[in-house]
Amino acid sequence: MASAATPTGFSLLRQSTTTSRTRSSLLQLSPSSSSSSSSSLSFRPATLRRLGFAAADPLLALTVASRVRSFGAGNGVRGVVSMAKKSVGDLSGADLKGKKVFVRADLNVPLDDKQNITDDTRIRAAVPTIQYLIKNGAKVILSSHLGRPKGVTPKFSLAPLVPRLSELLGIQVVKADDSIGPEVEKLVASLPDGGVLLLENVRFYKEEEKNDPEHAKKLASLADLYVNDAFGTAHRAHASTEGVTKYLKPSVAGFLLQKELDYLVGAVSNPKRPFAAIVGGSKVSSKIGVIESLLEKVDILLLGGGMIFTFYKAQGLSVGSSLVEEDKLDLATSLLGKAKAKGVSLLLPSDVVIADKFAPDANSQVVPASAIPDGWMGLDIGPDSVKTFNEALDTTKTIIWNGPMGVFEFDKFAVGTEAVAKKLAELSGKGVTTIIGGGDSVAAVEKVGVASVMSHISTGGGASLELLEGKELPGVLALDEATPVAVRLRAGSPMGLHTRLSPSSEDEGTPKAVGLHSFPRLHLCSNGPGDFPGPSSTFSRTAAHSLHLVVG
């Protein structure tokens, strides 16, 4: 445990006497062993309300827990959660056939000087939602931003995206020269079922980022319903991400947005344990919210990047010319204290790679973290730290990573970051849930070539950070709530505790049993012998305003 007295000491043992804790921000149900009545159950209030989410009704949850306990031995139900945001997967062919669907995607891909796409990750991530709409006969009106244009800026046109988008979808995508207006309306009117029209950059209008109601109304007038699949902009209340939802119903989440919530809320809030977070980056100030939020959830917290030198100096160590935020020294001390109080094993690097200047060709050497000489600066974590971090990660079942361990843009100081990426890839192959929380961490795993083996790579930079911090995402809040789910609980087979009922599209009004991984789904986490085998560590319905259960 890194304490105020010993910044380079390591401990994987909890500092508190409690051997088992549940720090999930979802509703927690803790059945008492002394009584089988529901009145003996205690629960924690949800903290997801700031995200626009909330847990199940407490009294109803207690009833469900009590019923589940009656099925036999075990520790009972840990949590009951259901996503309240309607998904595009909830819309059938009958809902979509011939309908004009306004899809807000995040196609903000990097282009080189010749307007060639250098990384098509975001385009590929948007394909599943678009293909689902095409398959079901919808008329897709696709919108996105690109770059940060100031008015109409040709170099930020979406035209270079059309060939690759058409190739991935297997159809010819039509491109509009504007995002609103008579010409766009004509193109929409001529769009066939299963066709795709790509609007021009929505940020060519200043009214987009101002979330101007009249502009939002013009965008919405093109369509019958709305799908938001742009997680990267879900933290912005813009006309195409929030404003249009006031005029288009239903307004639902796309598959990508839903997956992001599954991992960044679901897997993080109720993870397989031990749960570790790796947080890097140059400044403590940019990660304060993330660190404070994760301290409520994780078992192990590994810190790297430039921020570690603020922690070192706060503990009286010499840091040479390393980056330090002088006004955050008290904060660093406070965070160390919080980690100790919460029983979180906070690990700081025991050695660092230092350089005589900030440059790719700088002279470098490895020194203990407590022995950085004057005139030298730390630019990466050292080999002993890599070894210790790896040993800590070997004990885990869930890992989230946000931020590099050093200046990985310089090959000489990328070793620590690349080692973390390779370790996560190794653990992912062993069944550990690995979540890359956006930003430079994504660039790091792509550079190493291990992106494809990670459990989830977030497409959002700022959105990922804000979600991990517990901030509201306007683009998520604006979406429709899901239809209440009726759940039947029964004893018997291993699947007996997670069958849901939903109206069959073939036989309207007739309940039909649907498997656990259908949409929407219910997850009842149980802990004892004879319990049903749990699903994956994600929840398709994590963002819960409420959970409606019919116990029968």
Active-site positions?
122, 283, 439, 462
**What does the block give as tokens for 212?**
């101007």
C-alpha torsion sign, points 504, 505, 507, 510: positive
Give CA–CA dist 432/472, Å, rounded.
28
**What does the block give as tokens for 156?**
């930020």
Instruction: Map residue 524 onto helix, strand or coil.
Output: strand
* CB-CB contact of 149 with 111 (8 Å): no
Q: Which of 400, 387, 390 is nearest to 272 (CA)?
A: 400
Angle at 485 between CA 482 and CA 488, to 5 degrees: 170
**What does the block give as tokens for 430?**
């062993």
Give how far Cα 373 sits from Cα of 189, 356, 537, Å: 70, 10, 45
Residue 518: other Cβ atoms inside 10 A: 14
Give CA–CA dist 405/415, Å, rounded.
9
* CB-CB contact of 506 with 44 (8 Å): no
Residue 147: other Cβ atoms inside 10 A: 15
Give CA–CA dist 141/66, Å, rounded.
48
Instruction: Map residue 402 onto helix, strand or coil.
Output: strand
In angstroms, how far is CA 500 from the centroid of its own chain? 26
Give CA–CA dist 315/308, Å, rounded.
11
* CB-CB contact of 74 with 111 (8 Å): no
**What does the block give as tokens for 299?**
């078992």
Q: What is the dihedral of CA 516, 519, 520, 525, to 10 degrees?
A: 30
* CB-CB contact of 399 with 372 (8 Å): no
What is the enclosing helix (H) or strand (E) of 441?
helix 440-448
Residue 423: other Cβ atoms inside 10 A: 21
What percent of the residues of the chain are helix, what percent strand, and what percent coil, each to the nearest 5? Answer: 35, 15, 50
Following DSSP, what letter does each residue of 113-152 receive, concatenated? TTS-BS--HHHHHHHHHHHHHHHTT-EEEEE---S--SSS
* CB-CB contact of 312 with 304 (8 Å): no
Give CA–CA dist 4/2, Å, rounded.
7
Q: Which residues of 312-321 are buried (b: 16+ CB within 10 A; e: fewer)?
A: bbbbebebbb
Q: Which of 77, 33, 87, 31 is nearest to 55 (CA)?
A: 77
